[in-house]
Amino acid sequence: MDAKQKELNFSTIKEVLRQYLQHKGFRNTPERYTILEEIYNMEHHFNVDDLYLLMMQKKYHVSKATIYNTIEIFLDAGLIRKHQFGEKTMTSSSYEKSYFDKQHDHLVIYKKGSDKEIQEIIEFCDPRIQGIKDSIEAAFGVNIDSHSLYFYGTKKD
C-alpha cells in the first residue's frame, strides 16, 4: 500500500470513529485515535498485552483499562474484529483491524506435542465458503451477515 493510500485509509477510519463517538455520546479523546492508528499500522493479529507493550515502546502512556475500553469501542464501531484462536488463549482474545479487509478465515497451527501452544496462524480465503453461504441463504430464506470459521491443527511431518 502506498503512502497516499495509507493516509486516505487513516482519514476514513478516523472519520468512522469520530462519527461513532459522536453518535454514542462518548468523549472524543485524542488517545483513541492514536490507538486506532497503531492498530491499523499492524500487519498481524494482536492481543491487549501486545497493544499495551507497543504503546509503551512508543512512549505513549495509556492504562490497560483504557486499552480494554477502547477495544470495546472499536469492536462495536466495526473497526476491528475479535478472535479466540485457542483454548490456551481463552483469557486473552486476539484482534485485528477489519475495516478494509476482505472476509477471511483462519487456520490455527499448534506446536506439535505442546499443550495447544500456537505456532502460527494462517489466513485464507476460499471462495467455496461464499458458495455455502449462498446456498444456505437460498435454502433458509435468510441473509447471512457474518460467519466464524476456524481450523485447528498441527503441521504434518
Nearest to 11 by CA among 41, 47, 44, 37: 37
Residues 84-113 binding Zn ion (CB under 5 A) are 96
**In terms of CB distance, is 17 or 96 closer to Zn ion?**
96
Ramachandran area for residue 78 (φ above 0: left; ψ -120 to 50: alpha; else beta): left
- Closest approach of Cβ 83 to Zn ion, in Å? 7
**In terms of CB distance, is 119 or 135 closer to Zn ion?**
119
Q: Does the protein bind Zn ion through residue 123 (CB under 5 A)?
A: yes
Q: Copy the grid coordinates of residue 14.
A: 478516523
DSSP β-ladder status, 105-110 and 94-97:
unpaired
* 147 annotated to bind ligand: yes
C-alpha span between 96 and 79 (Å, rounded): 9
- Closest approach of Cβ 68 to Zn ion, in Å? 21
**In terms of CB distance, is 60 or 151 closer to Zn ion?**
151
CB-based contact 107:122 (threshold 8 Å): yes
Q: Does the protein bind Zn ion through residue 126 (CB under 5 A)?
A: no
Q: Residue numbers of the site for Zn ion (CB under 5 A)?
A: 96, 123
